[in-house]
Structure 1
């Protein structure tokens, strides 16, 4: 067999193969044998009919087709493995020439993952520090306050709302989402609403309504409102007094395994520190991959970019749905067009695919792998954490990729710590 590989671009190739008639014949015989095993012929037991009779019954065209299919599959596999090609999608096969007693010629068109040379990533890893961040007393106090408030008792009141009361409201503004009515509830003074909004609620009683106008700061994240005035209409649905439990050793013991308040605070500190450490490592991992990417001449296949961009856009739209926000309202609020958002998604897609390919290349170079046992264990962990998830809903390939990425990132982190 003769094979020639043509590169149309860095990730698109065509495989041209020629199979001489003498090379083709064994495949024809094998195809005929396979067909004979499953073809019923009158007067013979299944699989026992003479090959000549089977050939006449099914027709040579069917045998030729099966033989060609076998040759193409075999040649495709050999070429991909020999050249270390990794396909992105299904191959497109075209039979260029075939006639009995003559050579078979065919073409396979396939898109593959790009090949690139990795820089010295061990040196890059050593040069970028993991920036640690300590937990402050203020952060511990804030978390402790949240726990205290979550275990408070509420009492309805007819008095006007004051800071520290639990309030339930409905509000709307013609400048926000076409005057859509929003429902919210929070501790007055801690709702993190627009500056001045919560102060306007003070003194309002259950059932009362109020209209007011606020000046919106120029740096407000909702771009459509930034630097402008917003008109609000608010209805107070409920005002409740909060009876907070006293922060003492008894309070800590009621939460479970804590001997006293100091032990609770220490546990809070450890939890917050763990979160900060995770954030620091994630930031470091992103910086490492970005630094490596800058030293690589990497061609990203358009098919991968398009698929990832569409996935990112779908995720963003789902987030809007969770927030009960119309997608078009979100776009207008950010003063962005669909094209602007698509451009942002495309940029994010390019970064994520680059990082994925870099991690994959390092895994291959360092012989980092994921076993089937590890995959199954992780799937079991997911099912135990999320009982509502069905095993059929879990993408095993995605699980494998996540585990592999984590292994590579851990490998890089070990290099950093050993430097």
Structure 2
């Protein structure tokens, strides 16, 4: 096999692969055997038809086409490994030449254009020391937790005044196009300021009292007339405000097992302080990745980036046409960061010679299935059937590489080493480190998890 590589961009390469006849012949033979199982030739048992007769019966081109379909993935993978190319997307493959008959000595030749991981050199992490910002519990943290608990015990009460941001209203909506009603709903409960319905609704409701109505223009978000402009009439049936309990001993007794508010606050602080080690692990992770990327040129594949930006916007209910420049910039920054982290962690996993066992992958997928309350075996089968097991393997490798790399580093806070072994585990128990990985990667956006979650959503919807 002869392989040549032309780098079209730092993140795109075109491979030209030429296969010798003796390398391609076994695929032709296998194709003939498979076809022989499917055809009937008088005088021969099914599956025992000679190769020459198979060529005559179905045509050599049909045999060669079947052989090429089986051969290309194998030779493409070999070419990537030989040239140390790490693909980040599916290739664009074109067959340039192939034999036209069994006696034709023309070699199989194909090209594969693929977006790839750029070349870069990771820093040596042996003996590395990284200073981490200290994770502390502030009075504001305690106040926020206490306020969240207070809101859980809030109640809605009717008010005789104009509606304002934060109020809950019961409304009727009627969307009209050219004077004809195209969609109407009654008795909808909506929090003013939530911004999760129609553009302009919050502004229209602000200042309206129960029994009053108004109209505004907006683009419809769904249904048969999705994307069309409509005149929306809105009527307010009732206005309610959230009434929160007073922060006193009586609230503490209602919301907890404690008798006084001071005791409740002390317990909240205790729990918050117990969470600081996990926060410290997250800060250490971020600082570690930042150190790995420091000074590196990390261009990202243009096609992959464009696809992920589109997906990012869609996850927020936006298209590239209606997203603002600021929203597009935010999505692009998130995607670039995600891709750069992914590339660096993949390189780290290779450098650390991380090995991924089947149990590692199944534990990873089982943890996602658990989040969705699904049967792990059913979920894993769906992942395999959807062809996403490879993404899961890659994500597990990145996670294991991250943990292995962090174990080689000394993390300090105010110059003093900190012990993160509770979250980083050891080489022997990587497969059991689901909780540790969850803590270290609490807000990590990973393509594999997203793909797996998409399967979970689909299965849940089917059920």
TM-score for the superposition, normalised by structure 2? 0.59
Alignment of 1:289 with 2:289, yes or no, is: yes
Q: Shift in Å at residue 98 of structure 1?
A: 3.4
Counterpart of 1:358 (choices 305, 322, 344) is: 344
Counterpart of 1:410 (choices 397, 403, 406) is: 403
Look up the match of 1:77: 77
Kindly name which structure, 1 or 2, has the bigger radius of gyration based on alpha carbons: 1
Q: Shift in Å at residue 141 of structure 1?
A: 4.5
Distance 1:13 1:157, change over 3 A: closer
2-structure distance, mates of 1:347, 1:122: 27
Question: Does the 8 A contact of 1:12 with 1:111 survive in 2?
Answer: yes
Question: Does the 8 A contact of 1:368 with 1:408 survive in 2?
Answer: yes
1-structure distance, mates of 2:14, 2:159: 74
Look up the match of 1:384: 370
Question: Does the 8 A contact of 1:125 with 1:288 survive in 2?
Answer: no
2-structure distance, mates of 1:106, 1:167: 68
Look up the match of 2:457: none
Look up the match of 1:113: 116
2-structure distance, mates of 1:66, 1:167: 66
2-structure distance, mates of 1:403, 1:253: 45
Distance 1:281 1:60, change over 3 A: same
Q: Shift in Å at residue 352 of structure 1?
A: 1.7
Distance 1:101 1:340, change over 3 A: same
Alignment of 1:144 with 2:146, yes or no, is: yes
Question: Does the 8 A contact of 1:124 with 1:288 survive in 2?
Answer: no
Question: Does the 8 A contact of 1:207 with 1:236 survive in 2?
Answer: yes
Unpaired runs of 5+ residues, structure 2, are 172-187, 194-205, 213-234, 418-463
Q: Shift in Å at residue 167 of structure 1?
A: 5.5
Counterparts in 2 of 1:253-402, with a 5 A limit?
255=255, 264-273=264-273, 278=278, 281-317=281-317, 338-387=324-373, 391=379, 392=382, 396=389, 399-402=392-395
2-structure distance, mates of 1:354, 1:345: 14
Moved more, 360-369 or 52-61: 52-61
Distance 1:13 1:260, change over 3 A: same
Show CA shifts across 1:167-200 (max 9, x none).
64589xxxxxxxxx994379xxxxxxxxxxxxx9
2-structure distance, mates of 1:25, 1:239: 78
Question: Does the 8 A contact of 2:345 with 2:398 survive in 1?
Answer: yes
Q: RMSD of the TM alignment (CA)?
A: 4.6
Look up the match of 1:95: 96
Q: Shift in Å at residue 357 of structure 1?
A: 0.2
Question: Does the 8 A contact of 1:116 with 1:296 survive in 2?
Answer: no
